[in-house]
Amino acid sequence: MKTHKLIPGVAALALSYFVMPIALRAADSPEIAKLLADAKAQAVALKADAVDMESFTRSASNWETYLGNLDMIKEHVNKTGTLLTKLKDVEASGSPWQQTAIKQIEPLLKEIADNTTATINHLSDNKNKVHLPVFKDYVKANYELAADLEALIRGFVDYGNAKEKFEGLGSKLEIRD
């Protein structure tokens, strides 16, 4: 799983925030913050469905069970794709960290979409072979990608929330002075 590689990128953004002069900090876009929060909700649901599907590999589930779950995964991927399109439309209005978030989400979401399509195609061509290692590998890869996407988006949303709280504390200090 690549999750441990994603977190340092968010940490670097946080560090750069503290060393960047206040005058150079761009304001966060509330619209992008909302879209990222919506994307996080979709990513959480996507990961939950991927966890369920991965658990099917340890049971006697049939191909129809997998297909139903893949349909839910596909729906979450498509909804996240719609949110990403909206994010890209307003990307220029975002702060640097928000723009970075959008740029990092896009390739990972594309990879999940491609893998989901490949998994669906493999299932369609091999309905009676869902208990073979090759299909289990498709399912595991989908789970790992979903977990990575959820961690990435969660990290950016959490960073944005913490940054907003920090800035709120700073404005309270200015009022007291």
**Range of 49's domain?**
28-176
Q: What is the spatial distance between Cα 68 and Cα 112, in angstroms, rounded to a whole number?
A: 17
Is residue 2 a part of any domain in this protein? no
Q: Where is mean pLDDT largest: 53-57, 61-65, 101-105?
A: 101-105
Q: Where is mean pLDDT largest: 59-63, 71-75, 171-175?
A: 71-75
Checking if the pLDDT of 174 tops 60, the result is no
- What pLDDT, on a 0 to 100 scale, did the predictor assign at position 10? 57
- For 4, counting Cβ atoms within 10 Å of its Cβ (0-12 exposed, 13-18 middle, 19+ buried), the class is exposed
CB 95 within 8 A of CB 27: yes
- What pLDDT, on a 0 to 100 scale, did the predictor assign at position 38? 98
In this predicted structure, which of 10-24, 90-104, 132-146 has the lowest mean pLDDT?
10-24
What is the mean pLDDT of the segment spanning 119-139?
A: 93
Q: What is the spatial distance between Cα 165 and Cα 177, in angstroms, rounded to a whole number?
A: 19
Supply the pTM of this predicted model.
0.81
Is residue 15 a part of any domain in this protein? no
- What pLDDT, on a 0 to 100 scale, did the predictor assign at position 26? 72
Is residue 101 a part of any domain in this protein? yes
Quick check: helix, strand or coil at residue 159?
helix
Question: H-type helices in the chain, by residue range?
Answer: 3-19, 30-56, 63-90, 96-125, 133-176
Is residue 99 a part of any domain in this protein? yes
- What pLDDT, on a 0 to 100 scale, did the predictor assign at position 169? 79
Q: What is the pLDDT of residues 160-173, one digit of tens each?
A: 999 988 887 766 65
Q: What is the percent of the chain where pLDDT is above 70?
A: 81
Q: What's the CATH number where 97 sits?
A: 1.20.120.330
Is residue 114 a part of any domain in this protein? yes
Is residue 22 a part of any domain in this protein? no
25 to 21, 94, 129, 163, 169: CA distances (angstroms): 7, 11, 54, 12, 16
The total number of structural domains in the chain stands at 1
Q: What is the pLDDT of residues 10-56, one digit of tens each?
A: 555 555 555 555 444 578 999 999 999 999 999 999 999 999 999 99
Q: What is the spatial distance between Cα 58 and Cα 131, in angstroms, rounded to a whole number?
A: 9
Q: What is the DSSP letter of 61?
A: -
Tokens 């498509």, residue? Answer: 78
- What pLDDT, on a 0 to 100 scale, did the predictor assign at position 3? 47
Q: What is the DSSP letter of 25?
A: P
Is residue 13 a part of any domain in this protein? no
Is residue 10 a part of any domain in this protein? no
Chain length of the chain:
177
Q: Where is mean pLDDT largest: 56-65, 82-91, 120-129?
A: 82-91
